[in-house]
Structure 1
Amino acid sequence: MDFSQRLERVSANPQALTQIGRGLEREALRITPQGKLSPQPHPAGLGSALTNQWITTDFAESLLEFITPVSRNVDELLSQLSDIHKFSYSQMGEEMLWPMSMPCYVGDESDIQLAQYGSSNIGRMKTLYREGLKRRYGSVMQIISGVHFNFSFPDSFWEQLFGAQSGFERQAAVSDTYFALIRNYYRFGWLIPYLFGASPALCGSFLKRDTDHLQFSKTGAGTYFLPQSTALRLSDLGYTNHAQSALKIGFNSLEQYLEGLQQAIHTPSEEFAEIGVKVDGELRQLNTNVLQIENELYAPIRPKRVTQSGEKPSEALGRGGVEYIEVRSLDVNPFSPIGITADQVRFLDLFLIWAALSPSDEMNDAELACWRDNWKKVVLGGRDPELQLQIGCDGERLTLPEWARHVFAELKQVAIVMDQAYGSDVYQQTLTKLAGWIENPDLTLSAQVLRQIEAHEGIGRFGLELAASHAEWLNAQGYSRYSQAEFEQEAASSVAKQQQIEQTDALSFESFLADYFADLEANAFREA
Structure 2
Amino acid sequence: MSLNFNQRLAVFEQQSQSLEGFGRGIEREALRVTPDGGLSQNSHPYAFGSALCHSTITTDYAEGLLEFITPVAKDVDQLFAYLNDVHHYAAKNLENNETLWPISMPCFINNEDSVELAQFGSSNVGKMKTAYRQGLKNRYGSMMQVIAGVHYNFSFPDGFWDAWAKANQSPLTGKEAQSAGYMGLIRNYLRFGWVIPYLFGASPALCKSFLQGKKTHFKFKETGSGTIYLPYATSLRMSDLGYTSSAQSSLDICYNSLDNYIGSVRKALTQKNSDFVHLGIKENDEYIQLNDNVLQIENELYASIRAKRVQKEGETPLQALDARGIEYVEIRSLDVNPFSEVGITEEQVNFLDLFLTWCAMTPSESISKLQSQHFSENLNKVVTEGRRPNLMLEIDGKEQNVAAWGDWLTGQLKELAVVMDKESASDRYQNAIAHIAPRFASPELTSSARILETLKEGDLDNGRLALNLSKTYKEKLIKQNYQVWSDAFFENEKIISEKKQKEIEESDNLDFDGYLQNYFLNAQKK
The two structures have a TM-score, normalised by structure 2, of 0.96
Q: Is 1:487–2:490 an aligned residue pair?
A: yes
**TM superposition shift of 1:9:** 1.7
1:359 is matched by which residue type in structure 2? P
Q: Which runs of 5+ in 2 are unaligned?
A: none
Q: Is 1:457–2:460 an aligned residue pair?
A: yes
Secondary structure (helix, strand or coil) at the match of 2:18 reads: helix
**TM superposition shift of 1:167:** 12
Secondary structure (helix, strand or coil) at the match of 2:406 reads: helix
**TM superposition shift of 1:439:** 1.8
Identity over the aligned pairs, expressed in percent?
49
Secondary structure (helix, strand or coil) at the match of 1:439 reads: coil
Tell me, yes or no, if the aligned pair for 2:165 and 2:172 is still in contact at 8 Å. Answer: no
Aligned equivalents of 1:204, 1:453: Cα separation in 2: 14
Aligned equivalents of 1:141, 1:270: Cα separation in 2: 21
Match of 1:258 in 2: 262
Q: Is 1:448–2:450 an aligned residue pair?
A: yes
Match of 2:469 in 1: 466
**TM superposition shift of 1:280:** 2.1
Secondary structure (helix, strand or coil) at the match of 1:27 reads: strand
Match of 2:124 in 1: 121
Tell me, yes or no, if the aligned pair for 2:179 and 2:325 is still in contact at 8 Å. Answer: yes
Residues 477-517 of structure 1: CA deviation (Å, up to 9, x unaligned): 00001111111101111000000100111111110001001
**TM superposition shift of 1:162:** 2.9
Secondary structure (helix, strand or coil) at the match of 1:246 reads: coil
Match of 2:226 in 1: 222
Residues 165-218 of structure 1: CA deviation (Å, up to 9, x unaligned): 999842111111111111110111101000000000112234344323x22101
Match of 2:40 in 1: 38
Which residue among 408, 411, 431 is the counterpart of 1:409? 411
How do residues 348-427 of structure 1 correspond to structure 2 at under 5 angstroms?
348-392=352-396, 395-427=397-429
Match of 2:320 in 1: 316
Tell me, yes or no, if the aligned pair for 1:456 and 1:462 is still in contact at 8 Å. Answer: no
Aligned equivalents of 1:257, 1:98: Cα separation in 2: 35
How do residues 189-268 of structure 1 correspond to structure 2 at under 5 angstroms?
189-207=193-211, 208-212=213-217, 214-268=218-272
Tell me, yes or no, if the aligned pair for 2:236 and 2:242 is still in contact at 8 Å. Answer: yes
Tell me, yes or no, if the aligned pair for 1:200 and 1:232 is still in contact at 8 Å. Answer: yes
Tell me, yes or no, if the aligned pair for 2:85 and 2:483 is still in contact at 8 Å. Answer: yes
Match of 1:18 in 2: 20
1:263 is matched by which residue type in structure 2? K
Q: Is 1:433–2:422 an aligned residue pair?
A: no
Aligned equivalents of 1:183, 1:277: Cα separation in 2: 35
**TM superposition shift of 1:16:** 2.0
Tell me, yes or no, if the aligned pair for 2:310 and 2:320 is still in contact at 8 Å. Answer: yes
Aligned equivalents of 1:13, 1:268: Cα separation in 2: 48
Match of 1:336 in 2: 340
Aligned equivalents of 1:251, 1:209: Cα separation in 2: 34
Q: Is 1:112–2:96 an aligned residue pair?
A: no
Which residue among 491, 495, 498 is the counterpart of 2:501? 498
Tell me, yes or no, if the aligned pair for 1:79 and 1:480 is still in contact at 8 Å. Answer: yes
Change (3 A) 1:73 1:250: same
Q: Is 1:516–2:524 an aligned residue pair?
A: no
Aligned equivalents of 1:3, 1:507: Cα separation in 2: 56
**TM superposition shift of 1:262:** 0.5
Residues 73-123 of structure 1: CA deviation (Å, up to 9, x unaligned): 111101111100111112213110000000021011111110000000000
Aligned equivalents of 1:153, 1:49: Cα separation in 2: 30
Aligned equivalents of 2:336, 2:10: Cα separation in 1: 34
1:137 is matched by which residue type in structure 2? Y
**TM superposition shift of 1:424:** 1.7
Match of 1:76 in 2: 78
The two structures have a TM-score, normalised by structure 1, of 0.96
Aligned equivalents of 1:413, 1:28: Cα separation in 2: 36
Residues 271-298 of structure 1: CA deviation (Å, up to 9, x unaligned): 0112211122121110000000000000
Secondary structure (helix, strand or coil) at the match of 2:521 reads: coil
Tell me how large the CA RMSD over aligned residues is.
1.7
**TM superposition shift of 1:14:** 5.0
1:287 is matched by which residue type in structure 2? N
Q: Is 1:295–2:295 an aligned residue pair?
A: no
Tell me, yes or no, if the aligned pair for 1:385 and 1:401 is still in contact at 8 Å. Answer: no
Runs of 4+ in 1 over 6 A off after TM superposition: 163-168
Match of 2:11 in 1: 9
Tell me, yes or no, if the aligned pair for 1:20 and 1:152 is still in contact at 8 Å. Answer: yes
Aligned equivalents of 1:429, 1:150: Cα separation in 2: 22
**TM superposition shift of 1:52:** 0.4
Range that drifts further, 249-258 or 278-287: 278-287
Aligned equivalents of 1:266, 1:279: Cα separation in 2: 22
Aligned equivalents of 2:470, 2:361: Cα separation in 1: 40
Tell me, yes or no, if the aligned pair for 1:206 and 1:237 is still in contact at 8 Å. Answer: no
2:370 is matched by which residue type in structure 1? A
